[in-house]
A and B are shown apart, each in its own frame.
Chain A
Amino acid sequence: MSADWPFGNPVLTASGCGGTGRDLAAYGDLSELGGFVTRSVTLQPRPGGAEPRIVESPSGLVNAIGLQNPGVTAFVREELPPLVELGATVVVSIAGHSLGEYAELSRTLGRTDGVAALEVNLSVPDPVGSGLFDAREPFQAASVVGSCRRDLRAGVLLLVKLRSDVVRVVETAKAAVEAGADAVVVGNALPAALPDGRPGGLSGPAIRPQALRCVAEVARALPDTAVIGCGGIMDADDARAHLDAGARAVQVGTALFHDPTSAFRIARELAPEPDPLPGEDDA
């Protein structure tokens, strides 16, 4: 691995589920999370998609946010400093329209203080409609990872977020790791449609068993690679199921929309019982 594992505990937020971070900090101390993953940042600002952007589905949400973000320059200037100040271990999620954009994003963010890791978002539910580089084939995923790796400063962890598509996830994970990814995040919103037919992504407990299956398969196939599980984790038991399946950490996403304290609570519940201090064991 080219960088040390920067996460102090196994509970991270999932990309796009913690606002700018300041919003989430109203409900807990960001330094008590393993890491805060930002919404996906692109080179240029994106205004996001039309309404409705999110609709409920049984035990799930279908979203089509359209990767709204202020672009990398404004992100570094306005959104990153408060995150660092709040004590977050910051993972910046990135999405690019081309290999060149991925390289530029990695270069820019890699040399920016306060960025602990990059998470390459290769699992946008509608990459083509979003105008993003289409990385559905493992070789395409590998070329994105390679572009990011080449220009990334040493010491910044490179994560790759993959779709929990059980048919492709293992070979995609292998390709990403061979191309230089330090760890894989398994599970994002799954391709779905909003009731009006527009493409969206399904998240929440509805996809939990499916995400868990993919985490288990990747962990088994790549025993030397750190896997971060993501998909419908609502409580500490769900998180433990991912860890038991071989994940080194988890990401909590949709649960935060239902309860903004959920990630903090899961992190507390997973924390090992502190050893009694010397002299206190007779209490």
Chain B
Amino acid sequence: MTGPVHVTAEVLATKTLGAYRHLSLVAPGVGERSRPGSFLAVSVDDGHLGRRAFWIHRVAPMGGHRAVVEIVVEERGPGTRALAALPVGARVDVTGPLGRPFALPRDPARCLLVGEGYAAAALTSLAERLRERGCGVRLVLGGTDDAHLLEPLAARRSVGQVEVAAGDVTAAVLRALPEVDVVYVAAPTATLRFVAGAVAGSETSCQVALERPLTCATGLCQGCPVPVLDDAGDPHVVRACVDGPVFRCGLVDWEALG
């Protein structure tokens, strides 16, 4: 099974996680196809035509369903507010899994995961997969304040080494970098840019989960341009939603990216 599906999902459970709302969705076909770094898009209503995109936090069996999809919602506007307020049993149209996911190392490697804010949700299943492959995993978990740290206790249970850095992750990242081979970052653009700069010119491979404003989230609208530089250094414009959202950090033209 490959490729995304567009289905009507049912809200199976909701809870509050610090500043965020956590939704468990029965979305047939979405969870089964999901990989670390995949996301899904939710339709709010006909008055809000753009989709709302969310990282797939976890896929797990629940309530007799094989692959319930969990997402983390941060309220940012009327659309996300409406989704955060959805009760158990509500139905929403979702499309997923979307996007190009994280690439996993061929051989066991020392991995650093940097997750900041609700974007850290993109790293949860990645950490599990890396550990299954025998990789060492350390996590720097950031957020503007304690309420915006995503599940620090759960992270401590599932990841070997966790450094919690509310406010600013840069110092923790710089401390960890010399001891790892591979870096995965899911964070606001400023942090992605910082990590990309910190690994530039080194042997460390780095993938970033880029979060851009999306409209269709499915590659149709050309509303999410990402400037990239190919191997020859020539500029191109690609789409965050289908050509990403995960990019090798050396591919992105960070100067041209708004």
Residue of A nearest to B223 (CB): A54
Measuring CB to CB, which residues of chain A are less than 8 angstroms from any residue of chain B? 16-20, 23-24, 26-27, 39, 47-48, 50-54, 56, 58-61, 63, 65, 68, 204-205, 234, 254, 256-261
Complex Cα spacing A26 to B216, Å: 14
- Chain A residues positioned under 8 Å from B215 (CB to CB): 54, 61, 257
**Residues of B34-62 contacting chain A, CB below 8 A:** 43, 46-51
Confirm or deny: B6 has a beta carbon within 8 angstroms of a beta carbon on chain A: yes
Confirm or deny: B213 has a beta carbon within 8 angstroms of a beta carbon on chain A: yes
Q: How far is the CB of B219 from chain A (nearest CB, A)?
A: 3
**Assuming the A-B contacts A47-B237, A53-B225, A257-B49, are A23 and B220 also in contact, with contact meaning beta carbons closer than 8 angstroms in the complex?**
yes
Residue of B nearest to A13 (CB): B220
Confirm or deny: B93 has a beta carbon within 8 angstroms of a beta carbon on chain A: yes
Query: B49–A19 contact, CB under 8 A?
Result: no
Q: How far is the CB of A58 from chain B (nearest CB, A)?
A: 6
Interface string of B95-122 (1 = CB under 8 A from A): 1000000000000000000000000000
Query: B47–A59 contact, CB under 8 A?
Result: yes
**Assuming the A-B contacts A204-B49, A254-B49, are A51 and B225 also in contact, with contact meaning beta carbons closer than 8 angstroms in the complex?**
yes
Q: Which of the residues A16, A53, A259 comes within 8 Å of B93, measured between beta carbons?
A: A259
- Chain B residues positioned under 8 Å from A261 (CB to CB): 6
Which range contains the number of B residues in contact with the other chain? 20 to 34
Residue of B nearest to A63 (CB): B223
Query: B218–A54 contact, CB under 8 A?
Result: no
Query: A23–B218 contact, CB under 8 A?
Result: yes
**Residues of B228-243 contacting chain A, CB below 8 A:** 235, 237, 242
Q: Which of the residues A18, A52, A56 comes within 8 Å of B49, measured between beta carbons?
A: A56
**Assuming the A-B contacts A23-B218, A59-B46, A60-B49, are A260 and B95 also in contact, with contact meaning beta carbons closer than 8 angstroms in the complex?**
yes
Query: A257–B93 contact, CB under 8 A?
Result: no
Complex Cα spacing A53 to B237, Å: 13
Query: B237–A68 contact, CB under 8 A?
Result: yes
- Chain A residues positioned under 8 Å from B219 (CB to CB): 19-20, 23
Confirm or deny: B63 has a beta carbon within 8 angstroms of a beta carbon on chain A: no
Query: B221–A17 contact, CB under 8 A?
Result: yes
Query: A260–B6 contact, CB under 8 A?
Result: yes
- Chain B residues positioned under 8 Å from A51 (CB to CB): 212-213, 225, 258
Query: B50–A48 contact, CB under 8 A?
Result: no
Besides A17-B220, A54-B50, 5 new A-B residue pairs in contact (Cβ under 8 A), listed by A number:
A23-B220, A39-B222, A53-B223, A54-B223, A234-B46
- Chain B residues positioned under 8 Å from A61 (CB to CB): 49-50, 215
Q: Which of the residues A17, A53, A258 comes within 8 Å of B51, measured between beta carbons?
A: A258
Q: How far is the CB of B19 from chain A (nearest CB, A)?
A: 23
Complex Cα spacing A17 to B3, Å: 19
Residue of B nearest to A18 (CB): B220
Q: How far is the CB of A133 from chain B (nearest CB, A)?
A: 22
- Chain A residues positioned under 8 Å from B50 (CB to CB): 54, 56, 61, 257-258
Q: Which 5 A-B pairs have the closest CB atoms?
A: A23-B219, A257-B216, A54-B223, A19-B220, A54-B215
Q: How far is the CB of A254 from chain B (nearest CB, A)?
A: 6
Complex Cα spacing A17 to B49, Å: 13
- Chain A residues positioned under 8 Å from B79 (CB to CB): 56
Query: A65–B223 contact, CB under 8 A?
Result: yes
Complex Cα spacing A226 to B90, Å: 44
Confirm or deny: B136 has a beta carbon within 8 angstroms of a beta carbon on chain A: no
Complex Cα spacing A61 to B213, Å: 14
Q: How far is the CB of B93 from chain A (nearest CB, A)?
A: 6
Query: A58–B222 contact, CB under 8 A?
Result: no
Residue of B nearest to A49 (CB): B225
Q: Which of the residues B3, B93, B218, B258 comes within 8 Å of A50, measured between beta carbons?
A: B258
- Chain B residues positioned under 8 Å from A259 (CB to CB): 6, 43, 93, 95
- Chain B residues positioned under 8 Å from A260 (CB to CB): 6, 95, 216, 218, 220
Of residues B3, B79, B213, B219, which shows the largest number of chain A Cβ atoms within 10 Å of its Cβ?
B219
Residue of A nearest to B235 (CB): A47
Q: How far is the CB of A86 from chain B (nearest CB, A)?
A: 14
Q: How far is the CB of A211 from chain B (nearest CB, A)?
A: 15
- Chain B residues positioned under 8 Å from A52 (CB to CB): 213, 223
Could you give 21 example pairs across A and B, Cβ below 8 Å?
A18-B220, A26-B3, A27-B6, A48-B237, A51-B212, A51-B213, A53-B222, A53-B225, A56-B49, A59-B49, A61-B49, A61-B50, A63-B221, A63-B223, A65-B222, A256-B220, A257-B51, A257-B216, A259-B6, A259-B95, A260-B216
Residue of B nearest to A16 (CB): B222
Query: B46–A258 contact, CB under 8 A?
Result: yes
Confirm or deny: B4 has a beta carbon within 8 angstroms of a beta carbon on chain A: yes
Q: How far is the CB of B231 from chain A (nearest CB, A)?
A: 18
**Residues of B1-21 contacting chain A, CB below 8 A:** 3-4, 6
Complex Cα spacing A204 to B48, Å: 10
Q: Which of the residues A18, A23, A59, A254 comes within 8 Å of B242, measured between beta carbons?
A: A23
- Chain B residues positioned under 8 Å from A18 (CB to CB): 220
Complex Cα spacing A259 to B215, Å: 11
